[in-house]
Amino acid sequence: MNRRRFLYQAALAGVAAPLPWAARATTPRSAFGRNSTAEEVTAGLDLRGKTAVITGCNSGIGFETMRVLAMRGAHVIGTARTMDKGREACGKIKGKTTPVVLELTDFSSVVNCADAIRAMNVDIDMLILNAGITLLDWQQVNGLEKQFVVHHLGHFILTHRLLDRVAAAPLGRVVTVGSGNHRDAPEGGIQFDDLSGRHWHRRAYAHSKLANGLFSLELSQRLRNTRATSNCLSPGPVDTNIRRGLPSSMTPRNLKTPAQGAATVCYVATHPSLATVSGEYFSDCNPASQSAHQTDRAMAAKLWQVSTELTHRFIT
């Protein structure tokens, strides 16, 4: 078994892979804050020779993250729901970018996206799980609440199929864009007994964002004996297209700009001080408090198990 396959199997199974690696230190704090921009937090970094994959590259935080990482020299593989949208976004960027189609509600599309990226034969230094939606009504995909599918299950499959490429990079990072709204998830946390959303769809966005945080936490455990890391973050309330259709009563004052919203994404994905930090949650470019549910390791492990069962046809 070659090294990459060994890393992949070890990460998925949570098995110790005997690689030399420093013990985790106390998570450092930065001088950046709420008003920092993605350009500011990456100032002075040279990302030439590195490859980033970011989902939802065609607008908002995703586009700004792609722009800044490419500006710093990284090759950015950006996903969008259609090739036209991906090409249009990449065409606006100075630097090396490659568009790939990804429809997160269609698990076959997720597989095809991962296969297209694997065919490029590159290690992935940054896998940034960013794409998202907000819904006001109850929608389902194959009997499952749609935001849970988009935010969690689609990204769960993509990560599984690319994880060996992340683990093979010198310092691979999986960066999951969660939300402070995870605190508003339904009582009891992840609704394992009814993932349809029928009785809790008004809190479905928060439910899916809690899933993001728990996924990132469990992944950090499964990567603990590799060089790869997994961290989650909240970009904060940002003025992007994800808010289209929301009533003004649901729009907070003083929204961040996309440049500010992308700052924590870029910070967690690139900053040298976080090279060995894993299993953390960030907001405004610093470690942040979380709900008890999002730090519940038993819930995280159960979510991983249930997600594996729901997607087994697409992750093997």
Q: Could you please state the CATH topology (level 3) that the domain comprising 27-311 is classified under.
A: Rossmann fold (3.40.50)
**Would you state the pLDDT for residue 316?**
82
- 93 closest CA partner among 116, 74, 118, 113: 74
Over the stretch 221-257, which tens digit does the pLDDT of each residue have?
A: 999 999 999 999 999 888 776 655 555 555 566 899 9
Instruction: Point out the catalytic residue in the list 8, 205, 267, 281.
Output: 205
What is residue 240's three-state secondary structure?
coil
Q: Which residues of the chain have pLDDT under 50?
A: 1-8, 10, 14-25
CA distances from 8 to 63, 162, 175, 181 (A): 29, 9, 17, 32
**Would you state the pLDDT for residue 22?**
34
The crossing angle, in degrees rounded to 10, of helices 258-270 and 60-71 is 50
How far is Cα 218 from Cα 195, in angstroms, rounded to an integer? 19
Domain residue spans of the chain? 27-311
- To the query of whether residue 205 is one of the catalytic residues in this protein, the response is yes
**Would you state the pLDDT for residue 7?**
46
